[in-house]
Amino acid sequence: MENKFRDKKAEDILTDENLVEELKQDEILSGKATEKELVLARQIAKAVNHEKVQLGAKQKAKLGQRVSDSIETYKRRKLIVRFSYAAVLILIVGISVLFRSYSDSDIRRFALKNNFGPVSGNTRLFLSGEKEVQINSNESKIEYQGEGNEVRIDATQDIRQNVDNDETVMNTVIVPYGKRAQITLADNSKIWLNSGSKLIYPARFASDKREVYLEGEAIFEVSHNKKHPFIVITSGLDVKVLGTVFNVSSYRDDQTTSTILESGSVELSYKSNSVFGRSKELMVPGMLAIYDPQNGNVSQSKVNTRHYTSWREGYFVFEKQPLGGILKKISRYYNVSVRLSDEELGKETFSGNLDLKNSPDQVLKIIAELINAKVENIDNQIVITRI
């Protein structure tokens, strides 16, 4: 139906006798207008019908302005609705892209598919074609050469594997409790893998990214490559770097994941309670970041990084650390079972250096002497008892 008022101005409507009659009958607004617009129409009709000579130019202009304002308000309302739909669409697309970038990682899918952890025995290296290599040394060295198709173990054993140019070949190192491994990747990045840890990585990095997956603890000395950042992926926290030295600890039986930055800079990406489901945070050298997956946040504090990376050189450094946490590290490092006869002993603090070249009995006796306790072997288990 044609709108016969489309080209008329407000003052024309107010002075048109026929239109005024229709306004009085609400014919042009019936079933189409809001209550506010109906009230306005009735006021206009009443004003026009009551002693027309009293309706001056100012009154006409004022009423005309009210009509124009009503029309502009309606237009703005429609525009806001359109923008709201667009904003929601952009938000949905953004979340979808972010979710895909997080969940579509090849190495994360591979890690979830091969969800087996460290066991006792030898260090194990899994190469292409499901080839498994047993390494019986306590401190093994694994070096990749060429394009990742040549692997040297402990400088005595050379192994070749097929590395396809068009397909990513994943390798896995599993270090049991009581042993450690040093890995030199094809890009010359070095990784020190602590006891009870697993590392998954490509034999040769793709041209656009360098990603590894860690379960346990490792120190990374990453070769600098500004165009291809190095990313350490864990169960809930990702660490992105360009070239730096840092430590990541993400054991299955720990409630938190920690990152210690020795040099350079890193960006943390983690599951959070934000609208996007993930958050990012930067770190500077000398900081410890602890990620708690229960509440989805990261807390940072200034620390002496040597206390967290000294195990690479074969000793532990503690400064007023609770005995419970110290014994957990010693148990992993030596693959021994240690128990406290009194839970309150776990709250005792210890400061000092422990030479890891010593036996576990020697290390524990040093601690026991300082906290006035004794070490006993009961049913193949080391028990620390208060004297």
Asked if 200 contacts 212 with a C-beta cutoff of 8 angstroms, the reply is yes
Task: Name residue 349's amino acid.
Answer: T
- The reply to whether 262 and 183 lie within a common domain is yes
Residue 332's Cβ-side half-sphere holds a number of Cα atoms within 13 Å equal to 22
Question: In terms of domains, do 148 and 201 share one?
Answer: yes
How high is the mean pLDDT of the chain?
81
Helix (H, G, I), strand (E, B) or coil at 48: helix
Query: Do 232 and 248 contact (CB within 8 A), yes or no?
Result: yes
- Mean pLDDT on 229-241: 93
For the beta sheet containing 373-378, the strands, ordered from the edge strand earlier in sequence to the opposite edge, are: 338-340, 381-386, 373-378
Paired with 140 in beta bridges are 181
Quote the tokens at residue 33: 């207008």
Per-residue pLDDT band for 250 (boundaries 50, 70, 90) equals very high
Whether 265 and 324 map to the same domain: the answer is no
Lowest-pLDDT choice from 8-22, 93-107, 312-326: 93-107
Is the pLDDT confidence value at 27 over 70? no
Take residue 252 and report the two structure tokens written for it.
Answer: 């299955």
pLDDT at 128: 86
Task: Establish if 105 belongs to a structural domain.
Answer: no
> Hey, which residues does 241 pair with through a beta bridge?
230, 266
- Residue 196 domain flag: yes
User: Is the confidence at residue 267, as pLDDT, over 90?
Assistant: yes
Considering only 88-92, 224-228, 231-235, which range has the smallest mean pLDDT? 88-92
Q: How many domains does the chain have?
A: 3
Q: Is the pLDDT of residue 113 over 60?
A: yes
pLDDT confidence of residue 51: 46
What is the DSSP secondary-structure string of 230-282? EEEE-SSEEEEESS-EEEEEE-TT-SSEEEEEEES-EEEEEE-SSTTSEEEEE
5 occurs within a structural domain: no
- pLDDT at residue number 4: 53
Domain-located, residue 311: no
The verdict on residue 4 lying in a domain is no
108 part of a folded domain: no
Which residue segment(s) compose the domain that 246 sits in? Answer: 120-306
Which of 280, 306, 332 is the last residue before a domain boundary? 306
Choose between 217 and 345: higher pLDDT.
Answer: 217
Selection from 351, 354, 345 nearest residue 385 by Cα: 345
Same domain, 48 and 194: no
- Digit-coded pLDDT (tens) for 171-189: 999 999 999 999 999 999 9
111 within domain boundaries: no
Q: Are residues 78 and 128 in the same domain?
A: no
Question: Mind listing the pLDDT tens digit for each residue in 337-367?
Answer: 999 988 888 998 889 899 999 999 899 999 8
- Last residue of one domain, picked from the residues 239, 272, 306: 306
1 found inside a domain: no
Length of the chain: 387
Of 239, 274, 306, which closes a domain?
A: 306
Q: Mean pLDDT, to the nearest integer, of 158-172?
A: 86
Verify that 361 and 381 share a domain, yes or no. Answer: yes
How does residue 381 score in pLDDT terms, banded at 50, 70 and 90? confident
How does pLDDT run across 269-309, given as a tens digit for each residue?
999 887 778 899 999 999 999 999 999 999 999 999 999 99
261 and 283 Cβ atoms separated by less than 8 Å: yes
The CATH number covering residue 362 comes to 3.55.50.30
| Proportion of the chain above pLDDT 70, given as a percent | 73
User: Judging by beta carbons within 10 Å of its beta carbon (0-12, 13-18, 19+), is residue 212 exposed, middle or buried?
Assistant: buried
